[in-house]
């Protein structure tokens, strides 16, 4: 299963865009990139996922490089409530046990 690499922590000013990078250089063709976040010790919350194309929803945008070896999660106008640990995960394709491999994530701190 492909592994991901994320910076352990990042800061961002409130109201600015938060750009969270993720490297997944061993991703295979049928694996998706998923992003979740965990606020304090609450249950992880799904944010967005994608395969090849860039994706946008009401929470965030996901930019995946053409070679699919890295991606960036963008929170366009960060608020204090976006302070959380953000996890980038590569989801195995059909034929696996659909297990998500969770790393340490990026602790994002939004500052006033």
Partner 1 sequence: EAQVTQNPRYLITVTGKKLTVTCSQNMNHEYMSWYRQDPGLGLRQIYYSMNVEVTDKGDVPEGYKVSRKEKRNFPLILESPSPNQTSLYFCASSLWGGNQPQHFGDGTRLSIL
Binding site for partner 1 (CB under 8 A): 32, 34, 36, 41-46, 49, 91-94, 97-100, 102-105
Give the nearer residue to partner 1 in terms of CB position, either 14 or 23: 23
Q: How many CB atoms lie within 10 A of CB 62?
A: 22
Cβ 65 to partner 1 shortest distance, Å: 19
Residues in the chain: 112
Cβ 81 to partner 1 shortest distance, Å: 17
Give the nearer residue to partner 1 in terms of CB position, either 53 or 112: 53
Cβ 76 to partner 1 shortest distance, Å: 20
What are residue 74's DSSP bridge partners?
19, 61
- DSSP string for residues in 8-43: SEEEEETTSPEEEEEE-TT--TTPEEEEEEE-TTSP
Give the nearer residue to partner 1 in terms of CB position, either 83 or 91: 91
Cβ 83 to partner 1 shortest distance, Å: 18
CA angle 7, 12, 15 (to 5 degrees): 145
């Amino acid at each position: 299963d492909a592994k991901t690499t994320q910076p352990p922590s990042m800061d961002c000013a409130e109201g600015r865009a938060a750009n969270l990078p993720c490297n997944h250089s061993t991703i295979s063709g049928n694996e998706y990139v998923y992003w979740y976040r965990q606020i304090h010790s609450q249950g992880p919350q799904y944010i967005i996922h994608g395969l090849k194309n860039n994706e946008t929803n009401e929470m965030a945008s996901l930019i995946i490089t053409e070679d699919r070896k890295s991606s960036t999660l963008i929170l366009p106008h960060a608020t204090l409530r976006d302070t959380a640990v953000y996890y980038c995960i590569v989801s195995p394709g059909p034929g696996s046990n659909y297990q998500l491999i969770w790393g340490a994530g990026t602790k994002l701190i939004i500052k006033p």
